[in-house]
Amino acid sequence: MPNIPSGLESAHITNTPQGIIVNRNWRTSNRRVYALGDVAARLKFTHVADDAGRQVVAHAMSRRLISVREKAIPKVTYTSPEIAQVGMSWLDAVATYGVDRVHRIEVPFSVNDRARTATATEGVLIIIARRVSGRILGAHIVGPAAGELISICTIAIDRGISLWKLRRTIFAYPTYALIIKKAGDHFLATQLGTIKADLKRTAMSLLPKIILLSAWLGGLYLLYDYQQTFGLTITELALKLFDFITGTIWGPLLYMLTYAIRPLTFIPATPLTLSAGLFFGFWGGLIYTIIGANLSASVAYVVGRYFGASIRLEHTILRSFIIPLRENPFQAVLTTRLLFIPFDLVNYGAGILKLPFVPYLLATIIGTLLGIATFVSVGSALRVDDVRANGFTVSAIDGQFLILSVIIFVASLVVAKFLKKKTG
């Protein structure tokens, strides 16, 4: 049990009998205080405390610009023979990926020449790896030097080093570490036996995505062909679109529908938002764009979930970025919106990372208001009649709306900085 000092309540530091409560950066509920090692209510290993200390110094000295990165944590029991483990168990891997997407590679120490010459053949190495890619998900060792060997597997998990690469690496002979290279050989043999089924499964999973991508590319080609056939410039195409949208009661509905399906057609969000101010004025453009943008964000989120269904980034080197996003998705998405990070990048990314939809959508609704207002006001600054008569000139721009857009933009950045500082 940790030796908890007295007086933590006065410092507004929360703790339980198991230790002081800390976040992923080892910061306590008092934002000026960190708690590391066995006193914190996290994994109580000496090597975890050492790594946390190294990372927290960089985190504090950089004024929290450098986050503490989550890493694979090896665990060793110093019995005879030693027992070591890192990463996922077989049951965890099956629950996460499915039994038909992972391999369980088992290599006894009796096939290792160093173990045989040392008459220490009691033990086994078990590696859990993704099929086809050979990416290591977990390793379990019972045998001589297990605590030393597990470090190789830990590096492989942290750095994404596959069994394919490990089996091509030269290991000194005779060493216990050669058992890991032998695991790569076993993986190759196992993978060859399932390659036909794996390729068929991969092809079937990619087929709908290939069809959808082909449809997108075909639509873009038809749009380009239409423009070339009639010899239209971008300006002429824009004016025709303006006349069509503003000349019918279906214009607002068409605009919102176009915005909603925009992620399926690769139409950029910014030009559409700018055009809303041009078509409908500031207030009309603001309302129609808010509706269309949030429908668009939902569609892009679904697309990201679909294409990222088989991606498990939480078990890669991106783990340290993904976990905090999932812990507080509303705050994370809201901050990205206020910082004007590309709209679709956040939308698709939220789906791929499988962020909860409700907090994602709420943060999008709130966080895009200032950004939408900024670009709609810019669009409202353009006088269409002047453009039609004289083309794009400086005199066709209303400076008042541009000033308004700058004010809104600065306000958005200030709010984002405040939120970031408040949450640390």
Q: What is the pLDDT of residue 57?
A: 92
Q: Exposed/middle/buried for 33, CB within 10 Å: 0-12, 13-18, 19+?
A: middle
Q: What is the pLDDT of residue 417?
A: 67
Bridge partners for 250 per DSSP: none
Q: What is the pLDDT of residue 312?
A: 64
Domain count, the chain: 3
- Residue 224 within any structural domain of the chain: no
Do 45 and 154 meet the contact criterion of CB atoms below 8 Å apart?
A: no
- Residue 220 within any structural domain of the chain: no
Task: Say whether both 1 and 20 belong to one domain.
Answer: yes
Q: What is the pLDDT of residue 111?
A: 95
Q: Which of 42, 68, 94 is the last residue of a domain?
A: 68
Task: Say whether both 388 and 274 belong to one domain.
Answer: yes
The H or E element that residue 20 is part of is strand 19-20
Residue with token string 């101010």? 277
Q: Which two tokens stand for residue 247?
A: 């000349």
Task: Say whether both 141 and 176 belong to one domain.
Answer: yes
Helix pair angle (329-338, 357-380), 10° resolution: 10
Task: Say whether both 357 and 260 belong to one domain.
Answer: yes
Q: What is the pLDDT of residue 180?
A: 95
Task: Say whether both 415 and 278 belong to one domain.
Answer: yes
Q: What is the pLDDT of residue 113?
A: 95
The residue ranges of the chain whose pLDDT is under 70 are: 209, 212, 216, 220, 223, 233-247, 265-266, 309-325, 382-402, 413, 416-424
Query: How far is it, in rounded angstroms, from Cα 66 to Cα 85?
Result: 29
Task: Say whether both 58 and 111 belong to one domain.
Answer: no
Q: What is the DSSP letter of 341?
A: -
CATH code of the domain covering residue 141: 3.30.390.30
Smallest CA-to-CA distance from 2 within 32, 31, 30, 44 is with 44
Cα separations in angstroms, 406 against 118, 190, 265, 375: 74, 61, 30, 10
Task: Say whether both 64 and 91 belong to one domain.
Answer: no
Q: Exposed/middle/buried for 377, CB within 10 Å: 0-12, 13-18, 19+?
A: buried
Residue with token string 């019918």? 248
Q: What is the pLDDT of residue 342?
A: 81
Q: Which residues contact 262 (CB under 8 A, 6 or more apart)?
A: 269, 272, 296, 299
